[in-house]
Amino acid sequence: MTTMTEVEASVREFKMPDVGEGLTEAEILKWYVQVGDTVTDGQVVCEVETAKAAVELPIPYDGVVRELRFPEGTTVDVGTSIIAVDVSGGGAAPAETPVEAVTEAAVEPPAQEAKPAAPTRTPVLVGYGVSTSATKRRPRKGVEIPAQEVVSATVAVQAELNGHATAAVVESRPLAKPPVRKLAKDLGVDLATVTPSGPDGVITREDVHAAVATVTVQGQVSERVAPSAPSMPSLPSATYDSARETRIPVKGVRKATAAAMVGSAFTAPHVTEFVTVDVTRTMKLVDELKQGKDMEGLRVNPLLLIAKALLVAIKRNPDINASWDEAAQEIVLKHYVNLGIAAATPRGLIVPNIKDAHAKTLPQLAQSLGELVSTAREGKTSPAAMQGGTVTITNVGVFGIDTGTPILNPGESAILAVGTIKLQPWVHKGKVKPRQVTTLALSFDHRLVDGELGSKVLADVAAILEQPKRLITWG
């Protein structure tokens, strides 16, 4: 007769993987399997959306689905079990509580979890290869000190400086999940001063919020508040008309984009410059390239030549391809260009980039642009494709917009906005003629790019688009 221990030992808990890029949670978009389905090693079981992209998760073992821990639409912390699989090969899975009825208690894995079938292959969002970690939380070392005792310790240290008695205090690293640590960082809260209320001394979100309060030390009041969260009066519930209004939770890519844009706008001092340019010759070159055999089967459009023009301008003015290191107080000059292309998708704005775009030929650049756009439209852009960008192009012209003042992608030095290209009256060779004209806008970080450098880059891009033969003479 099969014992309960044997049953539990045959169950594998597949946890929400960590891609190792600072992501702490993901939303389950779609389950591809149901309870009772047979799964095989490498089979995709669900699609999740992180703050950067939608990713399909493969299961790392064979078996029968015993339980889906969360329904679609649920946001789950990294490291939390999301699906249980019976790997014993003993037939259909037993009846389980429906996913919709799962409570918080069901999130925790069994107390006696068996070792994984393949301990050297831990699943992550983009493949395998991360080292195996323990499934049980280690006991906390040292003495656990409430916030009041930390304050007392601060007073004692001050007393020592004044020649009074001292108090010895032993501290240890507070226990908290990654999302809680991020919350504390955003709110400016030192976790060492927070009194934990969770099991085993774990600090919860509620503990962090409770710590954002007035702390009195030696009669002096200091207040910790979130720098980016000004106090706003809450709207009364009566103002929400459910019949005529819809509330959409901010999460996933849109939530990450909002946070990144706020951080960029209020960290980097933006300057935007504009130039209107006659691109008639560039448009003719686009038509000629489409007919050439060298570009057959590739995506050839004005954006391709604009991207190439920007790359040439950066080559002529390399100091613009840099980033600002606030901690080290250094400007980091990049000797490569990872060219970002802003893409509007159903899940929100994303900015994948073409790695080492500076080293690509025009056909190679066209191929990379085509792959980037297709992948973004399918919602398959990987987190790695959105990391490490140096400068970005945003093509607002596709929406019929003349120009704009784009916000820098965080960590980058410049972003070029391209307006719509349309026929306008233009003075050409002393006569007013209809010409293809567009307006370019370049935003840059004024901490590391001064007006002269920014102007030179924008002027070079405009000059190349006006006379595209400069791609040869300058490139």
Structural domain boundaries in the chain: 4-130, 147-223, 253-473
CA angle 405, 407, 408 (to 5 degrees): 130
Q: State the fold for domain 253-473.
A: Chloramphenicol Acetyltransferase (3.30.559)
d(CA 369, CA 66): 43
Q: 39: part of which helix (H) or strand (E)?
A: strand 38-39
**β-pair type (391-395, 339-341):** parallel
d(CA 463, CA 352): 27
Mean of all residue pLDDT scores within the chain: 78
pLDDT above 90: residue 173: no
d(CA 336, CA 189): 37
Q: Are 407 and 261 in contact (CB under 8 A)?
A: yes
* pTM of the predicted model over 0.85: no
- The more confident residue out of 88 and 357 is 357
pLDDT digits (tens, 9 = 90+) for 431-473: 999 999 999 999 999 999 999 999 999 999 999 999 999 999 9
What is the pLDDT, as a whole number, of residue 380?
A: 83
Confidence band, pLDDT 50/70/90 cuts, at residue 188: confident
d(CA 259, CA 22): 14
Alpha helices in 338-407 (DSSP H): 362-377
What's the mean pLDDT in 273-296?
95
Active site residue 446: yes
| 343 beta partners | 350
d(CA 120, CA 132): 7
What is the pLDDT, as a whole number, of residue 226?
A: 41
For the record, the structure tokens of 398 come out as 């596709």
Q: Are 283 and 305 in contact (CB under 8 A)?
A: no
Give percent of the chain above pLDDT 70.
Answer: 73
CATH of 147-223, one of 2.60.40.420, 4.10.320.10, 1.10.1060.10, 3.40.47.10: 4.10.320.10
**β-pair type (38-39, 63-68):** antiparallel
Phi, psi (rounded to 5 degrees) for 12: -110, 130
d(CA 473, CA 315): 13
What is the pLDDT, as a whole number, of residue 22?
A: 56
pLDDT above 90: residue 355: yes
Q: 307: part of which helix (H) or strand (E)?
A: helix 302-316
d(CA 399, CA 440): 15
Q: Give the residue among 347, 355, 356 at the shortest CA–CA distance from 376.
A: 347
What is the pLDDT, as a whole number, of residue 460?
A: 98
Q: Are 392 and 314 in contact (CB under 8 A)?
A: no
| 12 beta partners | 85
Q: At what angle do helices 280-291 and 451-466 cross, to 10 degrees?
A: 60
DSSP-assigned letter for residue 98: -
pLDDT above 80: residue 280: yes
d(CA 155, CA 169): 12
What's the mean pLDDT in 48-64?
83
Secondary structure class of 302 (helix, strand, coil): helix
d(CA 440, CA 462): 8
For the record, the structure tokens of 146 come out as 């409430």
- The more confident residue out of 211 and 13 is 13
Phi, psi (rounded to 5 degrees) for 437: -130, 145
pLDDT digits (tens, 9 = 90+) for 369-385: 999 999 988 888 888 88
Does domain 4-130 match CATH 2.40.50.100? yes
Catalytic pick among 164, 335, 358, 446: 446
Confidence band, pLDDT 50/70/90 cuts, at residue 6: low
d(CA 208, CA 180): 8
Confidence band, pLDDT 50/70/90 cuts, at residue 356: very high
